[in-house]
Structure 1
């Protein structure tokens, strides 16, 4: 279930408002940095929501932009205060993809393409543990357990009966054929996948090997959309040591069009359920 105040989303909204004020003033980020005696990179990080914004930062920026409406200043100051609160994921310690979790927690819909493994929101605990342990061979058992707990906690977004996340997932056939955790774990995982695909807010499609080259060969990505129209759509690209978040309109358009091609070329949801069931039976026999 989404938290009442999501600090990640608050930072993004506040950054967008501050950018608008700067642009209305006709100033560059470099000019603002010179006025405040800070680095230009700090101004950029404040505006893109990647850095925590203090109320002092807001006060100083509003002074530079000559904002005279106290209601606007008070509103931005309140957003700054809320942006420094902690989301539910902070209770699990240092999570490397915490920015993504914050966005996912507040998203209204998620479109994801996965070429190698079942998406995290659709994983069973046993499968999640095997994936994480395999991807992080030097991680301690306690760290693996913590990451599994976070993954299971994230899944409340698709099980929330009142406001479930609208999830559309396209998986490459390789994600089903890759034996993660052994045949029994895979049989259980694929049965779980088939059951979830029957939920009205979850759509799952498989891209079969027979399709050959397709628009997803460049790798995994996710498209997050939000209920508030003021929040721009985000493209998420996961990396080993750092992640990439794209919000520029042209980037969003390119990835959205590519996703439509993926959906058109993949097996339809009914064909996918039959395909997944056949692969699950093969694992069960094994």
Structure 2
């Protein structure tokens, strides 16, 4: 019996996987549309996979094996592709790295830390060292560089996702950085908002109870794929794609957005706080 083809280490794992998928599809005489019939995905999504630019979700891998008669090849190797790590990020975060590049919308709620997409190097470094205090300097800088690279999402010339972020007031007033560094961090958020790359809102301390009090949540929607939720703890994180649960998280996020301050009010408060830090003053509250 002929031995099944394994992932080839001489090229990147996602690239090999995508090339194999395209070869099998074309050998079967199937167009992108014909191959996708019966799935929930679009042509652009599949094309990205075939070019090694996107990871294959497990349900689409199973679909490929059914349609192409590949005896479980794509499902078996799907995990290997997902484990093709990018330097500087935890394995559990890989799916988010892949997804956010293709998202139509990204909505985050951050009760305890500013989100990675908005962090300056100083903020990222402080957070990384707090969680991994014994890390070597080179390891820390590798993680900082990887986090900064994610923010290219806001710098590219083509379409960027619509990014909405809700921040708790304490993230602005209870600084983990020196006043000059915190001013720089808040200035970054202001610049992104003024360039219309992000829309920030603030939940004030005096709000009392509100939805999602105990969770950090990122919700993403896509032009040609179902929505995805990501939740994170200190040393772990996970994605949720169950439609019923995704709907609950998205409704909770909408309720949270409804009780947050308006974007223009929030931005004015962030600007004022940045100015306070620039003058060596830590604001007690946002007004």
TM-score, structure 1 normalization: 0.71
Q: Residues of 2 paired with 1:94 and 1:119: CA distance?
A: 15
Match of 2:56 in 1: 11
Partner of 1:207: 203
CA distance in 2, matches of 1:258, 1:164: 25
Q: Could you tell me which residue of structure 2 aligns to residue 39 of structure 1?
A: none
Structure 1 residue 202: deviation in Å?
Answer: 1.4
Distance 1:259 1:199 in 2: 24
1:76-155 superposed matches below 5 A:
90-92=86-88, 95-155=91-151
Q: Deviations over 1:129-169 (max 9, x none)?
A: 12222232222222211111111111111211212122110
Deviations for 1:96-130, whole angstroms, at most 9, x for unmatched residues? Answer: 52232122233222100001121111111122112
Quick check: 1:115–1:220 contact (8 Å CA) kept in 2? yes
Give me the whole-angstrom Cα distance separating, in 2, the residues matched to 1:241 and 1:117.
14
Compared CA separation, residues 80 and 153, structure 1 to 2 (3 A): farther
For the Cα contact (< 8 Å) 2:131–2:234, is it kept in 1? Answer: no
Residue by residue over 1:69-100, the C-alpha shift from the partner in whole angstroms, topping out at 9 and shown as x without a partner, is 6xx448x9789889866899625586552232
Distance 1:92 1:277, change over 3 A: closer
| Cα distance between partner residues in 2 of 1:108 and 1:146 | 28
Deviation at 1:198, TM superposition (A): 1.6
Q: What is the total number of aligned residue pairs between the two structures?
A: 232
Q: Structure 1 unaligned segments of length 5 or more: list them.
A: 22-57
CA deviation profile, 1:9-29 (whole Å, cap 9, x unmatched): 4321xx22355x5xxxxxxxx
Q: More helix by proportion, 1 or 2?
A: 1
Query: What TM-score does the superposition give when structure 2 sets the normalisation length?
Result: 0.71
1:240 counterpart residue number: 234
Backbone CA RMSD of aligned residues: 3.0
User: Does the residue aligned with 2:258 lie in a helix, a strand or coil?
Assistant: helix
